[in-house]
Amino acid sequence: MTAEERSFLERLDAVVGSEEIRAQIYPIVERVRTQLARNKAQMTWEPIPLTIYGGALPSGIRSSWVFVLRAGATTGAERHPNSHQRMMSFEAAGDMQVRAGPADGGEGEWQSNFLVSDPDAALERRWISIPRNVWHQVVVPKGRDWVVVSFHTVLPEELIEERPDSNDAGGTKQMLYLGPKEN
């Protein structure tokens, strides 16, 4: 991680570490957790209004999200072709794996980044920075659902998730997190 990226994450960490900010995020976490309990999905999510952060976010952040990932889930490969993602472990723990190259086994091995929610843990144990177009997948241990807070460089309605297309070797399918589900 570059010194510049570390500084960026430290700024985000200070904002999300504020008890006032966390108190405003918790109701969103509970709504998203309730959504997950009502269905069989591996994860549920909701954008966080940037106004919650009171103008304290570093420039370039255009959206923020709460994701609740089901205990025992492996979400499969995805990437964001239009956004740099910074994510922190908010509650519980999980493994955010990243890899270079194609998700279908072409290049590189999955690299494990086991993240925890302990505020006393090192920054690298709580946060990950995933540049645009980098494949990643979540592996959540059994036991507890994992809650993460994510920051993106695009507006909520513009955030694209891209996954390998099982019907087209080398192809991908895209979906927006808000709006129409598949492109």
For residues 1 and 11, what is the distance between their CA atoms, to the nearest angstrom? 15
pLDDT per residue over 90-107, tens digit each?
999 999 999 865 555 456
Average pLDDT, the chain: 90
What was the pLDDT predicted at 180?
47
Helix (H) / strand (E) element for 91: namely: strand 85-91
Burial category of 67 from C-beta neighbours within 10 Å (exposed 0-12, middle 13-18, buried 19 and up):
buried
What was the pLDDT predicted at 183?
34
Backbone angles phi, psi at 19, to 5 degrees: -60, -35
The more confidently predicted of residues 178 and 68 is: 68
pLDDT per residue over 124-135, tens digit each?
999 999 999 999
- The CATH number of domain 3-160, selected from 1.10.10.10, 2.40.160.40, 2.60.120.10, 3.40.50.10470: 2.60.120.10
What was the pLDDT predicted at 169?
67
For residues 173 and 183, what is the distance between their CA atoms, to the nearest angstrom? 7
pLDDT per residue over 23-78, tens digit each?
999 999 999 999 999 999 999 999 999 999 999 999 999 999 999 999 999 999 99
For residues 170 and 106, what is the distance between their CA atoms, to the nearest angstrom? 10
